[in-house]
Structure 1
Amino acid sequence: MKKANYLIIVLTLALLVTGCADKAVKDKDVSIKDGTNITSKETAQKNQGGEQGTNEGLPHQNDETTVPLRDFFLKDGTKAHYKGEGNEFAGFTIEVAQPYENYFIIYEDNGGVFLRKIFKVTDNQIYTLEESTVNYKDEFPSIEELDALTPVGIYLQKPFEKGATFDLWTIIKTDETVETPFRTFENAIVIEKKDKNSINRKYFVQGFGEVKREAIQTSEGNSFTVTSELESVDGH
């Protein structure tokens, strides 16, 4: 029983922080596609889908010349709910804001923690600028405050090629079919982070962003899985 409780706590924490830069990244290089390399110490949306039930009709995600990274977020003002399995905090609700063209803010509430995640979008990367607990919908930072923030990691990066890496993540699939309570998605990009005792995966779909998270924890031959899957999107 103690072992099971320990695994639940560990997996809950893993799901909460998997969207931000890992602390371990502080000691690793963050690759920037503009030809420079910096360390994280230094840096520190539309739903255009086809018929209901699939994302058929969206351009193929691997056609990188036509896929802006802004398309990997839900549109400004959208609310969505994720069904959780594995522990009481795996389910959560998000609200997406796009206060400025290249900045997205995601508010995430799992009933225990209210998080604010801030992202900056460039041609080839989505940077994580912040992930922190806040009071409910604190006032948006100004554009000057956002411009002054130092990236703490990379949330998603082109090229979308199997085996490509960024931070501690590796792209393991670019054409995955993923079933969620909301619908079945085609051509999902799957990224994975592994260490000795855990595997974390995130599933991205153009027009929706993250549609699924998965955390698998192993200990002394036992494994425990926590998942969060898109269940509903306002207006759909």
Structure 2
Amino acid sequence: MKKLIALGLLLFLLGGCGAEPDPDPVIPDAGTPQPDTAVPGEEEPASGGEENEVSEDPYAFFLEDGSIAQYKGEGNEYAQLTLRTVHLEGGHVAVYEDNGGTTVMSVYRIEGSAADLVKEEPEFYEEYEPSLEELQALKPISRYFELPVEAGGEMNGMPVKELGVKVETPYKDFDNAILLENKTEDGAILRSYFVEGYGEVKREFIMEDGDNEYKVTSSLEKIE
């Protein structure tokens, strides 16, 4: 059981980052509640309406250039994360994820309504400063997401379970998150929550061992 937990946790800490969909998956909210403006005598809009709609701007799922986001970790020493976002030329975005043990750099290319992972390097401790020609020569590795994001679709290599989900983080509570969820053959549950304007705001790794539940979370705490 310890080996199974260790394997699942490794997948959780790597965070998926646009990896190819895997039969034994990897792990992972926006909007403001709309005021009640119903006119007497008119029907309320059906659920799944405007409040659950997802932005048509793919940049909405990346932080601004130079942003540094810190995530509170619970359940494991490597669950505490720091993500730094750098916007590059030609519609490319680099994200440096540091979990205290290693730094993984991921580069995404935004074209139209989609974003693709085009470069991913673990143990990356330098500043990535490619030319536009070098960026354009990168080949897509996997699809990160394509808009519109819909329940039953896929994002970051994981199934989209539900839209309009509430999620709590130390930074703030979100009312309109996109919930991604997968379950491994070993029974571990992997969840990720995305919010328009922020990107991924929370990850959860949950595994039961008999009567005990083993849970690791990384939750957005601060943005600089």
Question: For this structure pair, what is the TM-score category when the shorter chain's length is used for normalisation?
Answer: 0.7 to 0.9
Q: What's the counterpart of residue 56 of structure 1?
A: 32
Which structure is richer in relative contact order (CA contacts within 8 A, separation 6 or more)? Answer: 2
* 110 and 123 in structure 1: CA distance in 2 versus 1, 3 angstrom threshold: same
Aligned-residue offset at 1:14: 2.7
Instruction: Supply the RMSD in Å over aligned alpha carbons.
Output: 2.8
Aligned length: 202
Q: Counterparts in 2 of 1:178-193, with a 5 A limit?
A: 178-193=167-182
Q: Counterparts in 2 of 1:134-153, with a 5 A limit?
A: 134-153=123-142
Instruction: Check the 8 A contact 1:97/1:106 in 2, yes or no.
Output: yes
Q: Secondary structure at the match of 2:76?
A: coil
Amino acid at match of 2:93: F
Distance 2:131 2:203 in 1: 30
Q: Secondary structure at the match of 1:145?
A: helix
Q: What's the counterpart of residue 19 of structure 2?
A: 21
Scaled by the length of structure 1, what TM-score is found? 0.74
Instruction: Check the 8 A contact 2:153/2:160 in 1, yes or no.
Output: yes
Q: Counterparts in 2 of 1:80-229, with a 5 A limit?
A: 80-165=69-154, 168-197=157-186, 198-218=188-208, 223-229=213-219
Aligned-residue offset at 1:85: 1.1
Distance 1:132 1:117 in 2: 7
Q: Secondary structure at the match of 2:150?
A: coil
Amino acid at match of 2:215: T
Distance 1:138 1:86 in 2: 30
Q: Secondary structure at the match of 1:173?
A: strand
User: What per-residue deviation string (whole Å, max 9, x for no partner) do you get for residues 65-96 of structure 1?
Assistant: xx301111110001110011121001111110
Q: Secondary structure at the match of 1:71?
A: helix
Distance 1:184 1:6 in 2: 32
Give unpaired runs (5+ residues) of structure 1.
26-53
Distance 2:209 2:223 in 1: 36
Aligned-residue offset at 1:152: 1.4
Q: Secondary structure at the match of 2:144?
A: strand
Distance 2:52 2:207 in 1: 30
Name which one, 1 or 2, has greater alpha-carbon Rg: 2
Give unpaired runs (5+ residues) of structure 2.
24-29, 35-49
Q: What's the counterpart of residue 31 of structure 1?
A: none
Aligned-residue offset at 1:168: 4.6
**Which range moves more in the overlay, 119-128 or 87-96?**
119-128
* 220 and 20 in structure 1: CA distance in 2 versus 1, 3 angstrom threshold: farther
**Which range moves more in the overlay, 67-76 or 129-138?**
129-138
Scaled by the length of structure 2, what TM-score is found? 0.78
